[in-house]
Structure 1
Amino acid sequence: MIPVTSLAGKTVAVFGLGGSGLASCQALRAGGAEVIACDDNLDRMVEASQAGFITADLRTMDWRPFAALILTPGVPLTHPAPHWSVLKAREAGVEVIGDVELFCRERHRHAPDAPFVAITGTNGKSTTTALIAHLMREAGYDTQLGGNIGTAILSLEPPAKGRVHVIEMSSYQIDLTPSLDPTVGIMLNVTEDHIDRHGTIELYAAVKERLVAGVAPHGRAIIGVDDGFGRDMADRLQRAGQPVQRVSVQGPLADGIIVEHETLIEVSGGARHEIARIGGIGSLRGLHNAQNAACAAAAALALGVSREAVQKGLRSFPGLAHRMEQVGRQGGTLFVNDSKGTNADAAAKALSSFGDIFWIAGGKPKTGGIVSLAEFFPRIRKAYLIGDAAQEFAATLEGRVAYEISGTLDQAVPSAARDAAASGLSEPVVLLSPACASFDQFRNFEIRGARFRELVTALPGVTPV
């Protein structure tokens, strides 16, 4: 745990008592603050009370004694409208911040030179975050991994000399972290997502930009420039005099890191230097993972890891669950769990990585559906449609891709496995990459992916990869 000493002796309101909220309560108390905890969910209020925290309905309280409101990232700060707790705080002149901000303040107070890597982007940030942590650990560094990837940042070990914190950040978390100044900041890409929470894609991109714009003067901003938002960010920061390392997997760069023939290459002043080769690494299959690997390698190199250690770490990276996770084989059929493919852009990454696909798709649909995936339709031998999006997806695929409306994952998996086995193809792939949120049938994408894994391993003759 990281005790929050910056608010010692003060009274702090905490709204949102999920994992990161409770961790904030514990860290604040450990640092000497008095905590008043609140949530719209009464069960969470009871849990916090049982953990020894004072709970109260913040709507009925006098806010003048509060030094800050610590807001969970899942609660609206601006769009579609500020949460009532945010309005209360603003009326009382109380700052609204998040748990990563508390971490930043502790780092400033106790170990300002401790390496801090922050990663954001619409897609790929979890894989990149995990890969950076893996590279640092394999190179012998004391490494803490957390943030949006699953472990609340304040549950990690405190910042210290030689200890690296590798933190995934959502746009919601960036919005709540005004003093964000990582040693290395990475912005992978921007595509349409979370518009309901930011209003427009331009505002969403502007929040993402804060992470790389805040990089410490001696640090490095690493920006994926294969979309217009990333290119514009890199240009703006460079004009402002900030060191920027561009990364592209789609074209040449005068300076930066590129990927050619499954090789990461650093280009600088006209010279080219090979960093590492990623060909044949199953956990880094696909162009999107080439970008993840390039950004992760750039971060590790910036922190002093050798190219030899980077190459070794890339080859030993096991990958992440639910991100193009190779679950097993049944004869020649490969089963891949990409449950994290919760929008069309993420699903495109998986579809582009395989041929002869038996595709399981659907769930709670997002804006735009799967129309943008038409270029990958020739790779799909048949689609198995589930959830609320099934009829919408069927209309898009009609006359272009064979499909069946399976309805549920339990029905789709055996159907896809049967058809793949009967196809006569040399390496058919049964791919769960839903291009949808999970919330119509599953509480989250992890549970959806775990169910896929269970169904696949229960098939006769399946062996682990």
Structure 2
Amino acid sequence: MIPVRGFEGRTVAVFGLARTGLAAARALMAGGAQVALWDEKPASRAAAQAAGFTLTDLSKAEWTDFAALMLSPGVPLTHPAPHWTVERAREAGVEILGDIELFARTVNAAPEHKRPKIVAVTGTNGKSTTTALIGHICAQAGRDTRIGGNIGVGVLGLEDMHGGAVYVLELSSYQLDLTSSLKPDVAILLNVSPDHLDRHGGMEGYVAAKRRILANQGKGDTAVIGVDDPWGQRICTEITAANRRTIVPISASKAMGRGVYALDGLLYDATGERAVEIADLKRARSLPGRHNWQNAAAAYATAIGLGIPPEEAAEHLMSFPGLAHRMETVAQIGRVRFVNDSKATNADAARQAMSSYPKFHWIVGGQPKTGGIDALADLFPRVEKAYLIGEAAPAFAQTLKGRAPAAECGTMDAAVAQAFADAQASGQEAIILLSPACASFDQFADFEDRGEAFRAAVQGLMTPAVKGVA
């Protein structure tokens, strides 16, 4: 745990008692603050009480008694409308912040010799893989590495800091909206495409939230920016003009005179006088596809920014074991391979997996995002058949009509069973790809729960003789 400094003897309201909120509460108390905890969900309140916390109904509290409101990132700050706790805090002149901001202030207040290195990763897609990949490289290079934020452990639940530690943090746009003083030694903006627009009031607000990761960098810091989309290109151009830090453009689609890029799976370092081939990423089994080549370029550039020798960074890049729910092969039954890409919660993320296979049986659907799967039309010819689940099934059936065979299956179990039957009947080698292009909350707790449901359904197909084959 990282004790939060700056609120000693004062009371901080904490709203939202899932992983982030409870970790923040413990860290605030460890730093000498008092906390007033609340959540609208009875189950969350019961879990907090079972963990030994005392609750305070914030709807009946005197808000002028609070030094700050620690808001969990899932709670609306501005759009579609501010949460009632946000309105109460603003009326009382109470500062609103998130757990990443609490971490940032604690780091900024520490003596110079105790301040760790901070790597912050954001982007619409690829955040988790890139965060884990950087953490893997740093750990293999002998650095005391902690990985958290929007992945794994909430940042304040990580082990306390010291001057030799490296914190590798995945940051969502929701978390960045609540952060103002984080100063990463290396900040990574992988890519930007439309997502969470309802929470940011449109694309402009979403881009502004992502861009906050770069706000406080200065001389000696490194910014790694993906330039394969127009928003990333623009941001890279604008911060290059400011010229306050080392800027490393990354690409998985084009050669560059300066930066780190991948062409046809070959990774090049062009940060020096000439481009040097670093690694053949096609040999990295856990990094398939162009989107993963961009992740690898970002991780390599970050490692160099942290002082890890290029040869060592490349070696550890190739040994990355991969992450669950991200183009993860969960099993193979005969000639049929099952790929779990449940983390693909929007069309752009699904595109990455779909582009990696010439033909596949596609399990798709859930709680649809703006635009649905219309943007994937150019990939529909690759779809042997689509198996539609969740709320999106009727609408997606209309989108696919006349362009790809589709069946409305409803549930994950039914989709997996039908896809397997069709794949077996083809007599060919086949891929069954779960890449939903949707949020999971209509049928599952989160994308991980959805991915585990896929895994369980696949396991249910397997006879004892073949179970565990992958």
TM-score by length of 2: 0.96
Query: Match for residue 121 of structure 1?
Result: 123
Structure 1 gaps of 5+ residues are none
SS in 2 for 1:431: strand
Q: 1:267 touches 1:273 (CA, 8 Å); kept in 2?
A: yes
SS in 1 for 2:440: coil
Task: Quote the offset at 1:15 in angstroms.
Answer: 0.9
Taking the TM superposition and a 5 Å limit, the aligned residue runs for 1:210-221 are 210-221=212-223
Amino acid at match of 2:298: C
SS in 1 for 2:254: coil
Query: Match for residue 292 of structure 1?
Result: 295
Taking the TM superposition and a 5 Å limit, the aligned residue runs for 1:364-403 are 364-403=367-406
Query: Match for residue 4 of structure 1?
Result: 4
Task: Quote the offset at 1:216 in angstroms.
Answer: 4.2
Task: Quote the offset at 1:73 in angstroms.
Answer: 0.4
Task: Quote the offset at 1:133 in angstroms.
Answer: 0.4
Residues 1:96 and 2:96 aligned together: yes
Q: 1:333 touches 1:421 (CA, 8 Å); kept in 2?
A: yes
Amino acid at match of 2:336: T
Q: 2:333 touches 2:469 (CA, 8 Å); kept in 1?
A: no
Query: Match for residue 131 of structure 1?
Result: 133
Taking the TM superposition and a 5 Å limit, the aligned residue runs for 1:295-334 are 295-334=298-337
Query: Match for residue 55 of structure 1?
Result: 55
Query: Match for residue 15 of structure 2?
Result: 15
Mark the CA change 1:157 to 1:269 in structure 2 (over 3 Å): closer, same or farther: closer
Query: Match for residue 416 of structure 1?
Result: 419
Taking the TM superposition and a 5 Å limit, the aligned residue runs for 1:419-458 are 419-425=422-428, 427-458=429-460
Structure 2 gaps of 5+ residues are none
Amino acid at match of 2:127: K
Task: Quote the offset at 1:421 in angstroms.
Answer: 2.0
Q: Deviations over 1:48-91 (max 9, x none)?
A: 34444342222222222211111100111111111111111111
Query: Match for residue 75 of structure 1?
Result: 75
- 1:327 and 1:43 map into 2 onto residues whose CA distance is 32
Q: 2:125 touches 2:191 (CA, 8 Å); kept in 1?
A: yes
Mark the CA change 1:11 to 1:455 in structure 2 (over 3 Å): closer, same or farther: same
Amino acid at match of 1:92: A
Q: Deviations over 1:141-178 (max 9, x none)?
A: 11000000131110001221111000000011111111
- 1:276 and 1:310 map into 2 onto residues whose CA distance is 10
SS in 2 for 1:55: coil
Task: Quote the offset at 1:118 in angstroms.
Answer: 0.5
Amino acid at match of 1:107: V
- 2:330 and 2:43 map into 1 onto residues whose CA distance is 36
Mark the CA change 1:385 to 1:42 in structure 2 (over 3 Å): closer, same or farther: closer
Amino acid at match of 2:149: G
Query: Match for residue 182 of structure 2?
Result: 180
Q: 1:357 touches 1:380 (CA, 8 Å); kept in 2?
A: yes
269-278 or 130-139, which deviates more? 269-278
SS in 2 for 1:215: coil
Q: 2:15 touches 2:72 (CA, 8 Å); kept in 1?
A: yes
Task: Quote the offset at 1:307 in angstroms.
Answer: 2.1
Taking the TM superposition and a 5 Å limit, the aligned residue runs for 1:226-305 are 226-242=228-244, 243-268=246-271, 271-305=274-308
Q: 1:355 touches 1:428 (CA, 8 Å); kept in 2?
A: no
- 1:138 and 1:317 map into 2 onto residues whose CA distance is 10
Amino acid at match of 1:199: G
Q: 1:254 touches 1:270 (CA, 8 Å); kept in 2?
A: no
- 1:212 and 1:324 map into 2 onto residues whose CA distance is 29
- 2:431 and 2:167 map into 1 onto residues whose CA distance is 37
Q: Deviations over 1:29-63 (max 9, x none)?
A: 11111111111123323433444434222222222
In the alignment of these two chains, the number of paired residues is 464
Amino acid at match of 2:30: A
- 1:262 and 1:46 map into 2 onto residues whose CA distance is 50
Task: Quote the offset at 1:420 in angstroms.
Answer: 1.4
Q: 1:129 touches 1:168 (CA, 8 Å); kept in 2?
A: yes
Q: 1:182 touches 1:216 (CA, 8 Å); kept in 2?
A: no
Amino acid at match of 1:42: P
- 2:345 and 2:223 map into 1 onto residues whose CA distance is 27
Mark the CA change 1:143 to 1:268 in structure 2 (over 3 Å): closer, same or farther: closer
Query: Match for residue 359 of structure 1?
Result: 362
Query: Match for residue 469 of structure 2?
Result: 464
Task: Quote the offset at 1:280 in angstroms.
Answer: 2.3
Query: Match for residue 32 of structure 1?
Result: 32
1:169 counterpart (168, 171, 189): 171
- 2:219 and 2:80 map into 1 onto residues whose CA distance is 35
344-353 or 40-49, which deviates more? 40-49
Task: Quote the offset at 1:463 in angstroms.
Answer: 4.5
Q: 1:187 touches 1:222 (CA, 8 Å); kept in 2?
A: yes
Amino acid at match of 2:330: V
Query: Match for residue 64 of structure 2?
Result: 64
Task: Quote the offset at 1:251 in angstroms.
Answer: 1.6
Q: Deviations over 1:260-304 (max 9, x none)?
A: 231211224651122322112221000000001110111111111
Query: Match for residue 351 of structure 2?
Result: 348
- 2:225 and 2:208 map into 1 onto residues whose CA distance is 14
- 1:46 and 1:372 map into 2 onto residues whose CA distance is 43
- 1:94 and 1:214 map into 2 onto residues whose CA distance is 23
Amino acid at match of 2:183: D
Q: 2:150 touches 2:169 (CA, 8 Å); kept in 1?
A: yes
- 1:45 and 1:269 map into 2 onto residues whose CA distance is 55
Q: 1:265 touches 1:275 (CA, 8 Å); kept in 2?
A: yes
Q: 1:111 touches 1:160 (CA, 8 Å); kept in 2?
A: no
Q: 1:181 touches 1:215 (CA, 8 Å); kept in 2?
A: yes
Task: Quote the offset at 1:462 in angstroms.
Answer: 5.0
SS in 2 for 1:252: coil
- 1:285 and 1:111 map into 2 onto residues whose CA distance is 42
433-442 or 116-125, which deviates more? 433-442
- 1:400 and 1:63 map into 2 onto residues whose CA distance is 57
